[in-house]
Amino acid sequence: MHKNMAATDKITILVDAETAQAYRAASEEERRKIDLLLNLKLRDATRSQMSIKRLMDEISRRAEERGLTTEVLESLLHEER
């Protein structure tokens, strides 16, 4: 359990095999950081008055503004590790 989190509960989410492999290969510290980030994002998504579709559109828009185009994302997802 992360020090800054109150009570925690375990859930299971489906991810692609490459993401699962990368998560498992990460150090304990990196996994804790990823867990915390996902916790915050899921909390925002579930507490938001915004629909999930609008939230995903907003995340996509922000990513594109920061230079994460579809092409860049595809190359990141398929790069050799």
Predicted confidence (pLDDT) per residue in 27-76, tens digit: 999 999 999 999 988 888 777 666 777 877 888 888 888 887 777 777 76
Model pLDDT, residue 61: 85
pTM of the model: 0.53
Lowest-confidence region among 9-13, 19-23, 48-52, 61-65: 48-52
Tokens 């009570």 belong to: 7
Q: Is pLDDT at 20 greater than 80 in this prediction?
A: yes
The residue assigned the tokens 């594109």 is 64
pLDDT at site 40: 87
Virtual CA dihedral for 11, 16, 18, 20, nearest 10 degrees? 10
